[in-house]
């Protein structure tokens, strides 16, 4: 799965966001009411608690070029403030696909 696109269609999903909403024990989908930005937060378990602690204690360098580029890119692709249904966040169909345990485990590993 490294350096390859997720096989969303084969798994029965239309978008990455639809996929992660079906994994509440792996990732939490949050949205900012101020900017309309969607943020994915990994769910911490015993095996990832140490990593989460290290990440939480990192200092953010707001003056670096890389973070400015990332912020600009994120702003360009984020939905508008007035958007009730951001692009790619489509309503789930009546037949919600089931994510195979192996794929879920791989995604959880990638997110950790």
What separation in angstroms does the CA of 83 have from each of 66, 68, 90?
28, 25, 12
How much is the pTM? 0.44
pLDDT digits (tens, 9 = 90+) for 4-14: 888 999 999 99
- The answer to whether the beta carbons of residues 20 and 29 sit under 8 Å apart is yes
Report if residue 31 sits inside a domain.
yes
Write out the two tokens for 54: 């290290």
Tens place of pLDDT for every residue, the chain, 112 residues?
A: 688 888 999 999 999 889 999 999 989 998 877 888 888 888 988 888 898 888 888 877 766 555 555 555 555 544 444 444 444 444 554 556 677 788 888 888 888 7
pLDDT at 97: 67
Q: Which domain holds residue 48?
A: 25-55
- Write the secondary structure of the chain as one string of H (helix), E (strand) and C (coil): CCCCCCCHHHHCCCCHHHHHHCCCCCEEEEECCCCCCEEEEECCCCCCHHHHHHHHCCCCCCCCHHHHHHHHHHHHHCCCCCCCCCCCCCCCCCCCCCCCHHHHHHHHHHHC
CB 15 within 8 A of CB 9: no
Residue 102 within a domain: no
Task: Report how far residue 6's alpha carbon sits from residue 3's, in angstroms, rounded to the nearest whole number.
Answer: 9
- Residue 7 belongs to a domain: no
Residue 46 included in any domain: yes
Quote the pLDDT of residue 13. Answer: 92
In a domain, 29, yes or no: yes
């Amino acid at each position: 799965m490294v350096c390859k696109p997720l096989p969303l269609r084969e798994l029965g999903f239309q978008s990455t966001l639809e996929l992660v909403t079906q994994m509440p024990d792996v990732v939490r989908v949050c949205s900012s009411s101020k900017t309309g930005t969607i943020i994915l937060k990994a769910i911490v378990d015993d095996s990832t608690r140490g990593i989460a602690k290290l990440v939480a204690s990192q200092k953010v360098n707001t003056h670096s070029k890389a973070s400015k580029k990332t912020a600009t890119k994120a702003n360009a692709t984020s939905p508008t403030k007035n958007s009730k249904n951001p692009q790619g966040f489509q309503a789930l169909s009546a037949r919600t696909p089931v994510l195979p345990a192996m794929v879920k485990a791989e995604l959880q590993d990638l997110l950790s």
